[in-house]
């Protein structure tokens, strides 16, 4: 197979998506012949800077392949690491082209706007000579694992909110309540729901020593900077959103409150359950949620919003409605992937159904032994295997825990089995070094809201 003059091979194209071009496989093939060194530096808050050194061809005939490679590489770095300044060092032509793309009028205007909101400053694309590349500065920090005392763990989901009362690591009460935060423009709705949950949990314990929150979104400290839960809240009222969890905690008392991205809390739950690090957690639900803890069970300070990072280079791939880009993770590892593949398998879905109901309809067919549904979930397993190889280029992964609504029942079993089969055949060394798995029973017992409860450390 060939794309932009680069010949690559893959043994297991998805049956329902034969034009899938796995970014990781193509990248390896591209790198095999690239000789000209370049560097990409991504700077984020508190001066932290990640530097990646790679290579391009730097020839006229490979101009488009070079740009495609660097543009997708930069895109992946932005959505995995986060940043407000990207320095492209050693390829001025590509650097200038990226400046145009990542501008309010360019094709990456969504990314430009997202990162401006996240860091409250414009996203900069800088072209520098290779020898002027910024120096790396990285730091990781511990996350959670504290189980002493009386704690509240709150998990803010898009369709329901979960809260647990936890005493010395044991969950003594939990509840789930349906709510609709994504349709509410008034932040008071969100505040009232959070406070109601916290007060319910507080009533089940003799006291409250700490509150931990797991929530979708990107945070600086406890402040949601961009979060789908508050998607309808106008930016003019965002000051209320940025303080919402601290204000809600103050309603319970003068106790420490720590907020973390739900993906990172998923990875933390795995680390607590298995007692190991280097874990990536991937939840396939409404979208793709990813989190990561390193070998020391620390978080890197990365955003890991891999729902918007590229996995497929096929230029006819389905576009994401929100980010407007094509080939990004949310269309391969969420209910959208099932909905995308089902018609190709000959499954007609009632357009009057919600996306969640469409997923359930395909899952029901799977439980009944429908071969068409089995092919849908098998192809998602193929996507997953090739994407594990991609993510392993950017994260040190020893354990990859997959969960979420899409992974439930026989469909999830098929996804996992197919992923392991493709990994063993296509990437035998990787299949030995990375364990892809469903959460084990101990991890399930820890749970998302219990892991959230462990986030704050108590002062001695």
Same domain, 298 and 423: yes
Round to whole Å and give the CA distance between 273 and 376: 31
Tell me how crowded residue 59 is: count the other CB atoms within 10 A of its CB. Answer: 12
Same domain (yes/no): 357, 380: yes
Q: How far apart are CA 438 and CA 416, in angstroms?
A: 8
Q: Are strands 170-178 and 160-167 parallel, antiparallel or unpaired?
A: antiparallel
Residues 225 and 337 reside in one and the same domain: yes
Which residues are 400's β-sheet partners? 280, 436
Q: Do the beta carbons of residue 376 and residue 16 sit within 8 Å?
A: yes
Domain-terminating residue out of 132, 163, 181: 132
Asked if residue 25 belongs to a domain, the reply is no
18-37 tens-digit pLDDT = 999 999 999 999 999 999 99
Is there a single domain that holds both residue 443 and residue 312?
yes
State pLDDT tens for residues 148-206.
Answer: 999 999 999 887 899 999 999 999 999 989 899 989 999 999 999 999 999 999 999 99
The reply to whether 55 and 199 lie within a common domain is no
Task: Name the token pair of 243.
Answer: 């303080």
Whether 230 and 330 map to the same domain: the answer is yes
Asked if residue 230 belongs to a domain, the reply is yes
pLDDT at 441 (0 to 100): 66
Question: How would you class 116 by CB atoms within 10 Å of its CB: exposed for 0-12, middle for 13-18, buried for 19 or more?
Answer: middle
Q: Does residue 236 sit in the same domain as residue 197?
A: yes
Last residue of a domain, one of 106, 132, 158: 132
| 349 C-beta neighbours (distance < 10 Å), count | 16
- For residues 64 and 198, state if they share a domain: no
Three-class HEC string of 28-80: HHHHHHCCEEEEEEEECHHHCEEEEEEEECCCCCCHHHHHHHHHHHHHHHHHH
CA dist list (Å): 453 to 1, 198, 275, 352, 441:
49, 11, 17, 39, 19
Average pLDDT across the chain, whole number: 94
Instruction: Work out the pLDDT band at 442, boundaries 50, 70, 90.
Output: low
Collapsing DSSP to helix, strand or coil, 103 comes out as coil
Residue 127 within a domain: yes
Residue 243, in any domain of the structure: yes
The residue whose two tokens read 């979420």 is 404
Count structural domains, the chain.
Answer: 2
Q: What is the CATH number of the domain that holds 429?
A: 3.30.420.40
pTM of this structure: 0.92
| Residue 134: band (very low, low, confident or very high) from pLDDT cuts 50, 70, 90 | very high
50 close to 138: Cβ distance less than 8 angstroms: yes
Task: Determine the 3-state secondary structure of 188 from DSSP.
Answer: helix
Same domain, 212 and 104: no
- Tell me if 389 is assigned to some domain: yes
Quick one: 64 and 187 in the same domain? no
- Structural domain ending residue among the three candidates 132, 165, 182: 132
What is the span of the domain harbouring residue 261? 140-460
Query: Confidence class of residue 10 from pLDDT cuts 50, 70 and 90?
Result: very high
With respect to residue 378, please indicate whether it lies within any of the assigned structural domains: yes
At residue 446, does pLDDT exceed 60? Answer: no
How far from 31 is each of 56, 69, 93, 97, 192, CA to CA, in Å?
7, 9, 19, 21, 53
Does residue 275 form part of some domain?
Answer: yes
Residues 118 and 159 in one domain: no
Q: What is the pLDDT of residues 221-236, one digit of tens each?
A: 899 998 888 989 999 9
| Whether the predicted pLDDT of 143 surpasses 60 | yes
């Amino acid at each position: 197979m060939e794309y932009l003059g680069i010949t690559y091979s893959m043994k297991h194209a998805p049956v329902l998506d034969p034009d899938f071009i796995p970014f990781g496989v193509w990248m390896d093939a591209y790198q095999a012949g690239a000789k000209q060194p370049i560097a990409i530096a991504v700077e984020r808050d508190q001066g932290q800077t990640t530097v990646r050194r790679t290579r391009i061809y730097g020839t006229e005939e490979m101009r488009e392949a070079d740009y495609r490679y660097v543009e997708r590489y930069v895109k992946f770095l932005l959505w995995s690491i986060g940043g407000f300044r990207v320095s492209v060092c050693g390829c001025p032509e590509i650097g200038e082209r990226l400046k145009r793309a990542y501008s309010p009028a360019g094709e990456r205007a969504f990314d430009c706007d997202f990162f401006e909101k996240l860091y409250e400053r414009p996203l900069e694309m800088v072209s520098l000579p290779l020898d002027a590349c910024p120096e790396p500065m990285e730091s990781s920090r511990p996350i959670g694992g504290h189980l002493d005392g009386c704690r509240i763990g709150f998990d803010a989901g898009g369709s329901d909110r979960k809260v647990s009362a936890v005493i010395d690591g044991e969950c003594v009460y939990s509840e789930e309540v349906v709510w609709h935060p994504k349709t509410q423009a008034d932040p008071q709705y969100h505040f009232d729901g959070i406070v109601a949950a916290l007060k319910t949990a507080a009533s089940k314990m003799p006291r409250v020593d700490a509150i931990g929150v797991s929530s979708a979104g990107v945070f600086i400290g406890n402040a949601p900077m961009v979060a789908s839960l508050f998607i309808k809240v106008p930016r003019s009222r965002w000051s209320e959103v940025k303080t919402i969890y601290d204000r809600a905690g103050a309603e319970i008392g003068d106790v420490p409150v720590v907020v973390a991205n739900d993906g990172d809390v998923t990875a933390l739950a795995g680390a607590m359950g298995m007692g190991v690090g280097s874990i990536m957690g991937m939840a396939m639900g409404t979208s793709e949620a990813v989190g990561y803890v390193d070998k020391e069970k620390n978080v890197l300070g990365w955003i890991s919003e891999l729902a918007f990072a590229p996995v497929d280079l096929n230029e006819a791939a389905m576009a994401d409605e929100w980010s407007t880009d094509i080939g990004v993770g949310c269309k391969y590892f969420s209910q959208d992937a099932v909905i995308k593949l089902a018609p190709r398998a000959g499954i007609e879905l009632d357009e009057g159904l919600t996306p969640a109901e469409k997923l359930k309809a395909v899952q029901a067919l799977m439980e009944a032994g429908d071969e068409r549904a089995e092919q849908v979930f098998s192809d998602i397993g193929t996507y997953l295997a090739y994407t594990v190889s991609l993510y392993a280029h950017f994260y040190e992964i020893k354990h990859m825990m997959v969960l979420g609504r899409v992974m439930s029942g026989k469909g999830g079993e098929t996804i996992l089995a197919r992923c392991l089969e493709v990994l063993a055949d296509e990437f035998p060394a990787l299949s030995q070094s990375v364990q892809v798995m469903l959460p084990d029973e101990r991890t399930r017992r820890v749970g998302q809201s219990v892991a959230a409860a462990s986030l704050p450390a108590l002062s001695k």
